[in-house]
Amino acid sequence: MPGLPLFWRGNEGEVIMSILIKNAHIIGAAENFTGDIYIQGESIAAVGKNLDIQAEKVIDATGLLAFPGCIDPHVHLEMPFMGTFSSDNYETGTRAALHGGTTTVIDFILQSQGHSLYEAYNAWSGRANGHAVGDYSFHMAVTDFNENTSKEIIDLIEKEGITSFKIFMAYKGALMIDDKQMVGLMNEVKARGGMVTVHATNGDMIDFLIAKNRAEGKLAPIYHYLSQPEITEAEASERFASIAGYTGCPGYIVHMTCEGALNAVRDNNRHNQKVFAETCIQYLLLDASLYEQNFEGAKWVMSPPLREKKDQEALWAGINQGLIQVVATDHCPFKWEQKLLGKDDFSKIPNGHPAIEHRVELLYSEGVRKGRITLNKFVEVLSTNPAKIFGMFPRKGCIAPGSDADIVLFDPNEEHTINAATHHMNTDYSGYEGWKLTGKTKTVLLRGQVVIDDGKCLVEKGNGKYIKRNKVEGKI
């Protein structure tokens, strides 16, 4: 494209910049070649080898990987939960995400039981709008399905671009809905072209085991793990998949941890019905032996809990078999003083752990470098699949003309160590303290703007845009 101007005018008064990224090793879910990326304004204008184009800014990416900005479809920012709030707000959370190469997050709005969906939507929008540094979107968690919520679902899909609805099969009395509500919601969401996502664990069984352990004076963090055995997740996953199959509603299981739940999806696929599955980076890399320490184990108290080595093997295999399409984080950070709320009783430890910043680097170092997944699979599960499943593709999730210029430039050889003193998340510990990784996010572009450069964030809060999503109806 010789002869293109360095600047041109967009809307009135707006000067649009151009950037040429040269000699990058470009990786997509299916591509893998060395070439150049030309960006005009917020979008990618051209991708190819030896592009002969002038640009205002040239970035030499020799020796670096370039892949589409990663999407984390499972985060909880400033979420009211278990008597406190998750400690990253929209500013700190999305900034930490950008540092690690995640340019878009999807957070969960939580309806309060007895209140409308729009009340919750307004509260979450108020916290996010003008505060987010990176791009964001919302799922809506329906905790009280009734006639009014049914009507609101239509508006949320059509007007707000919220096309995924979350249910909790656990956390009774706060978030859990029963099977009757689940069927009703699935019928409604299917009719409107949306998808239902699920926290699939058997809440009643877990509550029984929690009460039993507490009554027996078993109060240490390991009893969090022992109160949520694999069967509680396998059973709920099976039930969810069966009801999704019956209603025909597209389904997506969040934070899958274990072989039993994976087998529920596998069995379901044998009936020609597709339920998408997401695991999270911690379930691939960490195991339940971490709960064997005393209260330190509270750092990894999350639901579902960490599992066994055999489950990690099953999850890696599930990714390679295409049964698990997404690796997210379930980023739900708390400071140590918040975890101390449960120092005398595991059931009061706020559930969740920080991961939004390191998912990409951990998956590269532990997954790609160790030969567990290919580079293409890495991009597929971190970016392309979440974009497709959640209705943002091809705007997000690929490096192609017309797409948002969300690009990560990544040094595959740089070594570094995870350390709470230097991370950007608003937590005073890391679940991966001292882990030595190979591969580091160096430069991040979000909608054509360099937002991270060599460890520095170059944009302020308010830079992030709300992304309305399309209906996908379970087809990717």
* Contact residues: ligand URP, CB under 6 A: 76, 199, 302-303, 330, 332, 351-352
Nearer to ligand URP, 288 or 407 (CB): 288
Report what 104 binds from Zn ion, ligand URP, none; CB cut-off 5-8 Å by kind: none
Instruction: Give residues with Cβ within 8 angstroms of 239, minimum separation 6.
Output: 169, 179, 200
In angstroms, what is the minimal distance from the CB of 254 to ligand URP?
A: 7
Give dist(CA 274, CA 382) in Å, integer.
Answer: 20
Report what 395 binds from Zn ion, ligand URP, none; CB cut-off 5-8 Å by kind: none
In angstroms, what is the minimal distance from the CB of 223 to ligand URP?
A: 15
Q: Which residues lie across from 350 on neighbouring strands?
A: none
Nearer to Zn ion, 42 or 233 (CB): 233
Report what 164 binds from ligand URP, Zn ion, none; CB cut-off 5-8 Å by kind: none
State how beta strands 18-27 and 65-68 pair.
parallel
Report what 94 binds from Zn ion, ligand URP, none; CB cut-off 5-8 Å by kind: none
Of 167, 161, 116, residue with least CA distance to 136: 161
Give dist(CA 230, CA 74) in Å, integer.
Answer: 21
Name the residue whose CB lies closest to Zn ion: 199
In angstroms, what is the minimal distance from the CB of 166 to ligand URP?
A: 9
- The answer to whether the peptide bond before residue 412 is cis (omega within 30 degrees of 0) is no
Nearer to ligand URP, 351 or 365 (CB): 351
Nearer to Zn ion, 199 or 339 (CB): 199
Nearer to Zn ion, 99 or 199 (CB): 199
In angstroms, what is the minimal distance from the CB of 75 to ligand URP?
A: 9
In angstroms, what is the minimal distance from the CB of 112 to ligand URP?
A: 15
Residue 340's alpha-carbon distances to 89, 221, 295, 429, in angstroms, are: 20, 11, 9, 13
Report what 166 binds from Zn ion, ligand URP, none; CB cut-off 5-8 Å by kind: none
Residue 180's alpha-carbon distances to 18, 149, 211, in angstroms, are: 54, 15, 25
Nearer to ligand URP, 303 or 443 (CB): 303
Instruction: Give residues with Cβ within 8 angstroms of 71, minimum separation 6.
Output: 102, 103, 104, 105, 106, 382, 383, 386, 387, 390, 392, 396, 397
Give dist(CA 77, CA 110) in Å, integer.
Answer: 11
Nearer to ligand URP, 226 or 451 (CB): 226
Specify the 3-state DSSP secondary structure of 170.
Answer: coil
In angstroms, what is the minimal distance from the CB of 331 to Zn ion?
A: 8
Binding site for Zn ion (CB under 5 A): 199, 330
Report what 351 binds from Zn ion, ligand URP, none; CB cut-off 5-8 Å by kind: ligand URP
Q: Which amino acid belongs to residue 279?
A: T
In angstroms, what is the minimal distance from the CB of 237 to Zn ion?
A: 12
In angstroms, what is the minimal distance from the CB of 9 to ligand URP?
A: 46
Nearer to ligand URP, 94 or 303 (CB): 303
Specify the 3-state DSSP secondary structure of 295.
Answer: helix
Report what 302 binds from Zn ion, ligand URP, none; CB cut-off 5-8 Å by kind: ligand URP
In angstroms, what is the minimal distance from the CB of 86 to ligand URP?
A: 8
In angstroms, what is the minimal distance from the CB of 345 to ligand URP?
A: 16
State how beta strands 57-60 and 18-27 pair.
parallel
Report what 257 binds from Zn ion, ligand URP, none; CB cut-off 5-8 Å by kind: none
Nearer to ligand URP, 194 or 352 (CB): 352
Report what 137 binds from Zn ion, ligand URP, none; CB cut-off 5-8 Å by kind: none
Nearer to Zn ion, 199 or 377 (CB): 199
Report what 132 binds from Zn ion, ligand URP, none; CB cut-off 5-8 Å by kind: none
To the nearest 10 degrees (0 to 180), the angle between helices 259-270 and 230-247 is 20
Exposure letters 421-457 (e unless 16+ CB within 10 A, then b):
eebbbbbbbbbbeebebbbbbbbbbbbbbbbbeeeeb
Report what 259 binds from Zn ion, ligand URP, none; CB cut-off 5-8 Å by kind: none
Alpha-helical (H) ranges within 61-195 are 90-100, 117-128, 147-158, 179-192
CA gyration radius, the chain = 22
Nearer to ligand URP, 102 or 351 (CB): 351
In angstroms, what is the minimal distance from the CB of 301 to ligand URP?
A: 7
Give dist(CA 412, CA 399) in Å, integer.
Answer: 19
Residues 105, 94: contact at Cβ < 8 Å? yes
Name the residue whose CB lies closest to ligand URP: 351
